[in-house]
Every structure is written in C-alpha cells, then in structure tokens.
Structure 1
Amino acid sequence: MTSMAPSSTTTGKTDDLLFRKISWRLLPVLCLCYVFNYLDRTNVGYAQLQMKEHLALSDAVFGIGASIFFVGYALFEVPSNMLLARIGVRATLLRIMGLWGLASAAMMFVATPTQFYILRFLVGVFEAGFAPGVLYYLTLWFPRRRLAQATALFFMAFSLAPIVAGPTAGAIMTWLDGARGMRGWQWLFVLEGIPCVLLGIMAFATLPDRPEQAGWLDDAERDRIAHLLRADAPTSTTHGGGGVRAAIRDARVWVLGFVSFLVILGIYALAFWKPTLLKGMGLSIMQVGLVATIPAACGVAASLLIGRHSDRTGERRWHFAIAALVAAVGLMLTTLFPKDPLPAILCLTLVSIGTSSAFTVLWSMPGGILTGQRAAAGIAIISTVGGSAGMVAPAAVGAIKAATGSFTLSLYLLSLALVLAAVILVTWFRPRDAGPVVEGSIQAR
C-alpha cells in the first residue's frame, strides 16, 4: 500500500493553526506594551492643557519639549536594535520599558522648561528601539507570507492607543486634580509611567527570544517554523546579508523611511496638538478626552479592513496612496471649521482613517525587503528616519501657531506632506509590489 503525502490544503490549515497559536502567545503582550509606548510619548499632549498654565510654559516651549523626545529616540534607535539582535527581545524589553517607565513617571517633578527638555530627551533615549525591535522580533517567528498580517496586528495597537489615551487622560486630570497635593497632569505621568516597568517584567517572563526556546511549541512545530524561515532566506546577499552597511546602501530603505517621515509628520502633529485644537473650540478637558476617541476608533476599524484587503490582494502601493490622500483631504477640510467641533471631528476622523491605514500598509512592506541582521538594521533605519518627524512636527506646529495664532497653515503643510508621500511611493516602487504576498518582493524602479 502506498502512503499518501499530506495535501497542500492540509498543510496550509496546519500552518494556519500554528501561526494563530504563535500570534496569541506573542502579540497580546507586544500590543499592550505598544499601547503604553504610545501613551508615554504622547500623554504630554494632554498634560500640557494644565502644565502650560501651571508652569507658565508657552506654546513654543511645549513644542520644543515635545520634539526633543525624538532627538534622543533617533540617536539611540539603531544601536538599540542591533543590541536586541545580540541579547534577545526579553532583556531588551526589560531594559527599554523599565527605564522609559521611570523617566516618564519622573515628569511629575518638572518645574522649569530646562527640566522639561531634559526629561523628555531621556524618555526618548530609553524608548529608542522598541517598535523596530519588535518588528525585527516578528521576522524571527513569521515567514514573509504571514509577516504582513502579524505586523498589521501589532500596529493595530498604535491605532487603538488613542482610544485609550483620551478618556484615560481626561479622567485622571479631572478626577485626581488636587489629590494628595498633586495636579492632574502629575498624576497622569505617574499612572501611565509606572505600569511600563511592570510590563517590562512581564515581557521578560513570558516572551521567548526565538521559536526554539518556546516551551509551548512541540518539536514538530519548531521544525516547521525553521523550515519556513529557511525557505524565505535569500539565495544571495541582495536582500539578506551585510548588516548595517548593506542596509545603509539600500535605496529602498531610505525611500520607505522618508515616506514614513511624511506620514508621521501628520500623526505626531495631531497627537500632540489635537487636544489643544479641540479645547480651543470650547470643550472641557474631559470632553476633549472623550471626543478624541471617535477618530481613533474609526482609524482602528479602517486599518484592519484596509490592511486585510491589502493582504488578500497583495497590492500595497495604491492602498497606501489612497489612504494618504484621504488623510490629506481631511486635514484641508479641518481648516474650514476652526470653532465648530462637530464638523471638525468628522474631518479629523478622515485624517485618522487615512493615516492609520497608510501606516499599517507601509509597515507591511519592509519585511519583504530584508532578512537577518540586515533586517534589524534596515527596520531601525526606516523607523529612525520616520520617527525623526517627531522632532519637526510638534515644534513646527507650535512655532507656526505662535506666529499666526491658528493651526490653519500647519494643517495645509501637513496635508501637502501626505500628498507627497502618496506620489513618492506610487512612482518609486514598481507595480510588481502589488504581486502575491507570498513572494514578499518589493523592487524599486
């Protein structure tokens, strides 16, 4: 009797179960960490609603303080990610989250602009390497045909975090203002900083560095993962070898980094200044926190739907471009309603839908370019270039608002940046980028 080899359908279903199991083991912890990562880097946007009055900080001072975070972040991003490749994710997350949590909580002691600048810089230094480190970590577990979905699920936390950020900040700053002699903004930094230390300990205790160290996988499952990852390995050094130097020489890395920079300009400008924009329309701090959840929730839903459709069709360029253009239109329309909350919220919802979806699709692309040590360096470079928008956006918006008295010019400039991002991605990468996800191929013109 001749034995029958397992069919491709059976193998596919078995792999689906395997990677669903991996996703449920890894992604909840990573996503929770990412939510607090977002909270601790952007909570100053809500805190400043009380800080500026309490500490007599100007819009320009706040803008510089919000931006200087990203100076520290950019300087230490690549070194942190290269260290992760050597010592593993468990030790890296423990270091990153423990230090950034303590530095963020220490923001409660700020009394002068100089102290504000120093602590924001240190929070950036300690957070450096978190997101690109996780992206590299995912490449150790998921083959390229499944990496886009895992990446999208992880970045869903980035879209989900604003839903938590607004009501949480509003409640803390309203209900705890004056408790034990502390202002609400001080409680905000403490209650969103200390949990990061605990999450770092939890990540260290629960996340294995590699599949071969996962006690919840059996030998057959570990072998299957190793086989799929080996099948993904490039046959030449075109995509995988060379580490930092090869990643630096890869033009595609810099193009994706610049496109990310243009998108993140809008994301961070709104993250830090949206509370002020809404408060200027006559809303209370609690109302600002609650209203801010509407664009965020719509952004999460849109990123999941558009990310899933992009995965199913294998098309990236136009999914990204259309999403970026939707965000650009939303920003331009927002300028028409400087004092009217309802239409302004609808316009900001378009912005959130566009930026969240564009960001998700964009970050599904690097996994098809790089592998191995080159992936660690390349992802860190893309993240560093993109994240450097945080140095520009809050300070620039603050300076423009101080000079003009409104957000109108800033919103127009951010809209143009999104249009430019769409044009660059569509024209630089070939249509074959819309090919099957299983190939994970991204070729530049």
Structure 2
Amino acid sequence: MKLTTETPTTEQAAETRVYGKITRRLIPFLILCYFFAYLDRVNVGFAKLHMQDALSFSDTVYGLGAGIFFIGYFIFELPSNLLMQRFGPRFWIARIMATWAILSAAMMFVTTPTTFYVLRFLLGVAEAGFFPGIVFYLTLWFPSWRSARTLGLFILVTPLSVIIGSPLSGLILKLFENVGGLHNWQWLFLVEAIPSFVLAFVVLRYLDNNVDEAKWLTVEEKKIVQTDLAKDRANRDRAANGKASHSLKEMLANRYVWLLALIFFSFNVGYYGVSFWLPSIIKTSGISDDLQIGLLAALPYVFGAVFMIWNSRHSDLKQERRWHIAIPAVIGCIGLTLSAYCSGSTFWMMTWICVAMSGTLALIPTYISLPGTLLSGTAAAAGIALVNSVGNLAGFFGPTVLGWLKDQTGQTDSGLYILAGFLLLCAPLIFMLPAKLVSPGKTPGMHYQDVAQPDAEDPLNITERF
C-alpha cells in the first residue's frame, strides 16, 4: 500500500465534511423513528397507573405482560435482521414500523390478562429487528472508528424518548379520561401509535439502502466512505489474524459474540427493570399526580443523556472501549443500590436513580458498537441481532422478577438490589474481551490509496447471503 500525496489535514477535512453530511441526513430522522418505537414499547409503564386498577391486574400480571414483549422480540429478531438484508433496509424498516403501530394501538382493546399477554408478545414480534437493524444499517455508512459517537447520537433517543415521552404520557392520561367513552390509558396507546404508522410511509421515500444508492452524495464522497469501510474490513481481518467472522456459521461459532450477548443480558436486567417500574416506584413514594410522575420519571434520563454523549465521544477520542463500559456499569450498580436503600425519601431515591441512569445509559453506545467491530457482512447483521435478542431476554426477566417480588414483599427494594447485582456483573465480563479485538483499528495520520476495494456492484455486502 502506498501513501497518498494529499496531506492528512486536507483528507481529514474532506472526511469530516462527508460524515457530517451523512450524519445530518440520517441520524435526526432515525432518532425520530426510534423515538416512537421506544415510546410504544414502554408506554405500558404509564398505562399501568390506571390500566391495572381498571382491569384488576396484579403486579405479577403486569410484570409478566410488560416482559413477555421480549420473548417475541427474542424469537424473531435474528430472522428479522436477515430478512432486512434480503429485502433491503428501507422496505424492512417501514414494514416493522407499520406493524408495530397497528399492534400498539390495539393495546387499547385489552380486557383480560390473556389478551394483554398476547398483544404484548405480538408487539415484540413486530418490533423485532428494528433496533439491531438500525445499528447494522449505520455500519453500512460509518467505519468502526466513528461508530461510538455516531451510535451515541442515535441512541440519545433512548433518554430523549423518556424525557419527552414521560411528561407527554402523563399529560395524555390527565387530559383524556373518559373522552369519547374511553379510559385515559386506552387513549394513551392510540395517540402514541399514530406517528409510527405515518412515519412508516415516510421511510419508503426518505431512506437509501446503502451509500451507492445515495443520490445526495457525490461520486467523490461515496469513494471516501467506501474506502474507509474497506479499511475497516481489513482491520477486522488483521485483528482476528485473518479469521474475522463474515458468515452466519462463523458468527455462531464465535465465542466473543456469545460473551457480548451475556454482557448485554446482564445490563438489560437492570435497565429494563427500572424503566418499566419507575412510574410505579415514584407513585409508591407518595406522588399521585400523573403529570408530576411523568416529569420526575424524565429527570434521570436528562442526566443519562448528558453522560451518554460524553462517554461515547471520550471513548472514540481515546480509541478505548472496555473501561468506558466497565466504569459506567459500576456507577449504575451503586446508584441502584442506594436508591433502594433510600426508598423512604422521594428526594434521595430520585437522586440515586439519576446516578444509576447516568452510568447505565452512558455505556450503551460504546457497547453497541462492539459487534460491528468484531463482525462484517452477514455475520454483522446476524451478530448484532443475536446479541440484541439474547440481551433483551432480560427485558422479560427484570420486570417479571420485580413484579413478583413486589407482590410477595409489598415493596421493590429487594428487586432493585438484584438488578444492581446484574449491572455490576457487566464490569468483569467486559474484560474477558481482548482489547485488540474491540478497540477501533484506524491509525491516525495514515491514509491509504491502494486498499482492497469492495465489489463494484455491491460495495457494502448488502446482498451477501448465508
């Protein structure tokens, strides 16, 4: 390989411009789509404030119904991501959004535990593949050394959906009671499902499947991105001694993929346990007004959003991943533990939950970038889906256990201690991954001209089959 005569400063400036252009084109729109996906997933936590009494559901029934979403999600996530490769991201993302919007609105017709379980399960089936599909889609546009900050911007939607969605949900519950003969929780499901259905049709017009299809990029801009992606694949091969996983079979045999799934499971036990139960925990502390509960439930995510952006940017700046996951996990554990210990005081409980969410949310973008660093092609699509689906089984375990323990003990303290323990487990597990495999591979200042180029007709392996 030979060095180009173009100075690094000029070339880096060109790269900065093109990736800035891609970021402005894709990230705000994808944030909007995932905002409503996440809102439709977790608004059941606010619906519970009135739905549970109206339908005489126990805490165990609610916890099981909230969590069973992730069983459907787990079963269909890997097939969904593989189908995304077959049909293309644009069509498949639109299909997912339209289907989950219809099923989310159908939650307004729940009358029994069985219908509650069935609809939550089907909602998980419908949404399966959306988040890992978006993560895989971004690997078609950004190399791994830019992945944490890019994913940090996209995953910022997680706290934003709660920061905006919690007060919005509380306001809907407050304003829509008995409007048109419906309960406020029924209106909550209907109103928050409509934007997702509309956006599904916008996706078909707005998104491109890959860089080659992007008419809003010049030929020179496309070449910059395609060259960087080729370097990225070469770096993965070198880090894995020429044995990087590219196929579905190789991905399933990769022990580090399964380790990543275990880490994500441990993280999500803590994260989803708190997310689904936070409105109820606040209500139990003595706050009864729906809007006030919504505002308080948003507060921890404000702190989480700030630390999420800082941690992902710092991780890319230092080109380091493991410590930027382990330290936030420990902070999350400490925050959850002390929030349970201080459950008698709304102020101190909320203070420590803010600390917990600061650590918990901070590690997400850095962690989510790892499968794309280890894998490429079909293996990347399948690996991201596998890690996410196994990890999201914790979304069933966490809320269900917390609901059962609350029915048994009358409080959530013991459940929060268990969730904290799972967060702590992430720290030692992440160091079982070799640093050379999970650290981005671009060496600053090196610009190569003669690198292996992707196939001209399929530059991003979007049609690679297993």
The match for 1:158 is 158
Q: CA deviation at 1:241?
A: 1.9
Correspondence list, 1:24-63, <5 A: 24-63=24-63
Contact 1:152–1:360, Cα closer than 8 Å, also in 2: yes
Contact 1:329–1:415, Cα closer than 8 Å, also in 2: yes
Alpha-carbon deviations, 1:85-122, whole Å to 9, x = none? 11111101111000000000010111111111111011
Distance, in Å, in 2 between the alignment partners of 1:342 and 1:30 is 35
Alpha-carbon deviations, 1:318-355, whole Å to 9, x = none? 12111011110111101222232111110100111011
The match for 1:317 is 322
**Matched position secondary structure for 2:142:** coil
Distance 1:437 1:262, change over 3 A: same
* TM-score (norm: length of structure 1): 0.95
The match for 1:391 is 396
Sequence identity (%): 38
Alpha-carbon deviations, 1:358-381, whole Å to 9, x = none? 222211222210111110011011
Q: In the alignment, which of 404, 407, 412 is matched to residue 409 of structure 2?
A: 404
Distance, in Å, in 2 between the alignment partners of 1:395 and 1:186 is 23
Distance, in Å, in 1 between the alignment partners of 2:438 and 2:84 is 32
Distance 1:437 1:323, change over 3 A: farther
The match for 2:140 is 140
Q: In the alignment, which of 357, 366, 382 is matched to residue 361 of structure 1?
A: 366
The match for 1:87 is 87
The match for 2:310 is 305
User: Structure 1 stretches (4+) deviating beyond 6 angstroms?
Assistant: none
- The aligned amino acid for 2:68 is I
Alpha-carbon deviations, 1:387-413, whole Å to 9, x = none? 111111111110011111111111111
**Matched position secondary structure for 2:246:** coil
Contact 1:315–1:433, Cα closer than 8 Å, also in 2: no
Correspondence list, 1:159-198, <5 A: 159-198=159-198
The match for 2:279 is 275
Contact 2:144–2:440, Cα closer than 8 Å, also in 1: no
**Matched position secondary structure for 2:111:** coil
**Matched position secondary structure for 2:96:** helix
The match for 2:464 is none
Contact 2:35–2:157, Cα closer than 8 Å, also in 1: yes
Distance 1:114 1:436, change over 3 A: closer
**Matched position secondary structure for 1:292:** helix
Q: CA deviation at 1:437?
A: 5.3
Distance, in Å, in 2 between the alignment partners of 1:119 and 1:377 is 26
- The aligned amino acid for 1:43 is N
Q: CA deviation at 1:434?
A: 7.6
* TM-score (norm: length of structure 2): 0.91
The match for 2:78 is 78
- The aligned amino acid for 2:349 is A
Q: In the alignment, which of 258, 271, 284 is matched to residue 262 of structure 2?
A: 258
The match for 2:428 is 423
The match for 2:451 is none
Distance, in Å, in 2 between the alignment partners of 1:293 and 1:335 is 19
Correspondence list, 1:321-400, <5 A: 321-400=326-405
Contact 1:313–1:436, Cα closer than 8 Å, also in 2: no
Alpha-carbon deviations, 1:3-44, whole Å to 9, x = none? x93211100110100001001111111111111111111100
**Matched position secondary structure for 2:415:** helix
Distance, in Å, in 1 between the alignment partners of 2:353 and 2:324 is 20
Correspondence list, 1:66-145, <5 A: 66-145=66-145
Distance, in Å, in 1 between the alignment partners of 2:7 and 2:213 is 29
Distance 1:159 1:417, change over 3 A: same
Contact 1:313–1:434, Cα closer than 8 Å, also in 2: no
- The aligned amino acid for 1:276 is S
The count of aligned residue pairs is 435
The match for 1:204 is 204
Distance, in Å, in 1 between the alignment partners of 2:441 and 2:314 is 11
Contact 2:148–2:315, Cα closer than 8 Å, also in 1: no
- The aligned amino acid for 1:328 is C
Distance, in Å, in 1 between the alignment partners of 2:21 and 2:283 is 44
Alpha-carbon deviations, 1:249-298, whole Å to 9, x = none? 11111111111111111111111111110000111221110111110100
**Matched position secondary structure for 1:282:** coil
Contact 2:94–2:204, Cα closer than 8 Å, also in 1: yes
Distance 1:78 1:341, change over 3 A: same
